[in-house]
Amino acid sequence: MSFSGILMGMGNPLLDISAEVPMEVVDKYGVKMDSAILAEEKHLPIYQDLIKNYTVQYIAGGATQNSIRVAQWMLQKTDLKTAYMGCIGKDDEYGNTLKECAQKDGVFVHYMMTEEEPTGTCAVLVNGGERSLIANLAAANKFTPEHLKTPLAQEIIQSCQYYYMAGFFLTVSVDSLVQVAEHAVANKKVVCLNLSAPFIVDFFGDQVATALPYADFLFCNESEAEAYAKKHGMEGKDLKDVALEVSKSPKKSTERPRTVVFTQGSKSTIVACEGKVEEYPVELLAKEALVDTNGAGDAFVGGFLAQLVQGKSLEDSVKAGHWAARYIIQRSGTTLGETCDYTV
């Protein structure tokens, strides 16, 4: 096998176990809607609970993998290729499902495989169009920088010009992120990072502080932006001002200014760069057309990156991100059609 492409993702590959559930289930496991957490001991029965008692869908997940799948799907009319790395269980059913799904979407996967843990899973509790995520990382937590030394990983890293990592990966292997990011800085390539969840900001602050200086593009939603503002003495500040402050924070590469992108659900997306802030309105979707918000943020990033890697403008990138998010929330989970009919 060999690879030649433009965009690489590195993250936590998880198989989503998704089901429509009543609020009693949400309350039973002590979680909130529109949140994402790492599973604790008390949450572990949820996976079998869903499988036994509800109609479940198995969907290839993991935030970074979702974004790369969407980007590749939107790049299908081009010759541009994407790749993804993460850790799955060796020769297990869930891992094989993940691989098949990513490959079907055209993503080149180079998974690290472990015998220590099974492939990670994520319970997706859907109620009224909102979702709550409970991730059991399992094998995903075993990724190490050793995998980056494999000849194929080196080929992928050397070939790509853009790298994307969701904040969830900061709980697993900051050293791996730094290794890829240092390569990007040395070779004037582009690093994209997502804060991913308020708990990443709140409990993995040192890891965020290590990763952020490498970010040429930083993505997050309003909850994550507010958490970041609170932690860094900007509580109560307008999010446009917060975006500006983050865009001006220290940066490793002097090749380009940092661009900060805050999504806000159905409200305008905020983009800050070089001392300027722009807002891009989101086309509203009728409530009855909304199926599931799971994966909306991942899809936005995928759409955005699909334009960015083609050298398109920020406006075009945001527009594509909005389109991709709108497409995904009208489907169950991050599932994609055979063809992408997006046009600029």
The confidence band for 291, taking pLDDT boundaries of 50, 70 and 90, is confident
**pLDDT given at position 163:** 98
The confidence band for 106, taking pLDDT boundaries of 50, 70 and 90, is very high
Question: What kind and span of H or E run contains 239?
Answer: helix 239-248
Q: At 311, phi and psi to the nearest 5?
A: 80, 20
Mind listing the pLDDT tens digit for each residue in 223-278? Answer: 999 999 999 999 999 999 999 999 999 999 999 999 999 999 999 999 999 999 99
Per DSSP, the residues of 178-190 read HHHHHHHHHTT-E
Block residue for tokens 């909304």: 290
Q: What angle do CA 213, 5, 163 make, to 5 degrees?
A: 15
The residues assigned a catalytic role are 298
**pLDDT given at position 89:** 97
**pLDDT given at position 237:** 95
Residue pair 235/210 in contact by the 8 Å Cβ criterion:
no
Could you tell me which residues come within 8 angstroms of residue 44 by beta carbon, excluding any fewer than 6 positions away? 136
Largest CA distance in the chain: 54
Give the span between the Cα atoms of 326 and 194, in whole angstroms: 19
Per DSSP, the residues of 26-94 read HHHTT--TTEEEE--GGGTTHHHHHHHHS--EEEEE-HHHHHHHHHHHHTTTSS--EEEE-EEETT-HH
Report helix, strand or coil for 344: coil
pLDDT at 1 over 80: no
**pLDDT given at position 344:** 78
**pLDDT given at position 130:** 87
Mean pLDDT of the chain: 95
The confidence band for 34, taking pLDDT boundaries of 50, 70 and 90, is confident
Residue pair 12/109 in contact by the 8 Å Cβ criterion:
no
Counting residues of the chain whose pLDDT is more than 90, the rounded percentage is 89
Assign residue 128 a region (left: φ > 0; alpha: ψ between -120 and 50; beta: otherwise). Answer: left
**pLDDT given at position 43:** 96
pLDDT at 59 over 90: no
pLDDT at 109 over 90: yes
**pLDDT given at position 280:** 98
The predicted model gives 36-45 an average pLDDT of: 94
**pLDDT given at position 95:** 93
CA distances from 295 to 7, 40, 132, 256 (A): 19, 22, 11, 29
Eight-state DSSP code of residue 283: P
Mind listing the pLDDT tens digit for each residue in 115-148? Answer: 999 999 999 999 988 889 999 999 999 999 999 9
